[in-house]
Amino acid sequence: MSVVKGRSFCPSCYKQIKWYNNIPLLSFIILKARCQECSAKINTKYFLVELISGLNFVLIFYLFGISLTTLLFFILSICFLIIFFIDLKHFIIPNELTYPLMLIGFLKSFDPNLNYHLFPNFINSLIGGIFGYVIIWLIIFIYKKLRNKEGMGLGDAKLLSVIGFWFGWISIPFVIFFSSVVALMSVIPDLIKNKKKLSSQIPFGPFIIIGNLIFLFLFDQIKLFLN
């Protein structure tokens, strides 16, 4: 909600969190994991997200140094991290994050000085964005026709479109494959234990993000394979 509606607030007393009580990692430690206003316990997940963000920034800076590529990956990674945990908990992928990421992903493709080893040109980017959205839209459409209910959400389509805009159309088949495999592996134990059914709803956004990370990790090998 704070992403969509503005400043962060305590989920217990609903009072706005002052900036000096919202410093990543440090505030959690100084406040001893409790809200200063109502003393409600602060969920450890906030500290975990901030820690992952910090380590992620260090890794990106180590790989790309002081560059526009670093700034772009900073923006993408923090948005992906927010989307990951929001969708995991609330089954929502906010348009307030996906739409700007689509725009940034497309606009960056016009910069001739960017790393074209990673980023596509504007034609490839545009095709990727459209392809990413349409492929999920088709899955939703066909599933609804066959089963008469929603199989996925348009938030997933927009998220995959973001990846297409950022990394080109070639990324889409790999991300879909990797994310589907990881999703299947994650639900198989619950299926075996009858905790979930094949029709059970799962947030697919986090798996799309994981699939994209696997794609980037294997990017050089994929390039060699395609060539």
3 falls in which pLDDT band (50, 70, 90)? low
- What would the mean pLDDT of 72-93 be, rounded to a whole number? 93
Dist CA 164 CA 211 (whole Å)? 13
Burial group, residue 192, by CB count within 10 angstroms (0-12, 13-18, 19+): exposed
Quick check: helix, strand or coil at residue 111?
coil
Instruction: Compute the distance between CA of residue 149 and CA of residue 129 in angstroms, rounded to an integer.
Output: 26
pLDDT for 199: 61
Please, which pLDDT band fits residue 224 given cuts at 50, 70 and 90?
A: confident
User: Is residue 58 within a helix (H) or strand (E), and if so which, with residue range?
Assistant: helix 44-64
Tell me what the mean pLDDT of segment 136-152 comes to: 82
In terms of Cα–Cα distance, which of 127, 135, 137 is closest to 106?
Answer: 127
* pLDDT greater than 80 at residue 166: yes
Check whether 202 has a pLDDT greater than 70: yes
pLDDT at 198: 60
pLDDT tens digits, one per residue of 6-48: 678 888 888 888 888 888 889 889 988 898 889 889 888 889 9
Element (H, E) at 156: helix 154-167
Check whether 102 has a pLDDT greater than 90: yes
Whose structure tokens read 């980017």? 125
Answer yes or no: is pLDDT of 115 > 80. Answer: no
- Select from 101, 222, 86 the least CA-distant residue to 163: 101
Local confidence band at 130 (pLDDT 50, 70, 90 cut-offs): very high
Residue with tokens 């990106």: 60
Q: Are 58 and 70 in contact (CB under 8 A)?
A: no
Check whether 223 has a pLDDT greater than 70: yes
Mean pLDDT of the region 147-172:
90
Instruction: Give dist(CA 118, CA 134) in Å, integer.
Output: 23
Range with lowest mean pLDDT among 103-107, 135-139, 145-149, 154-158:
145-149
Q: How many Cβ atoms sit within 10 Å of the Cβ of residue 150?
A: 11
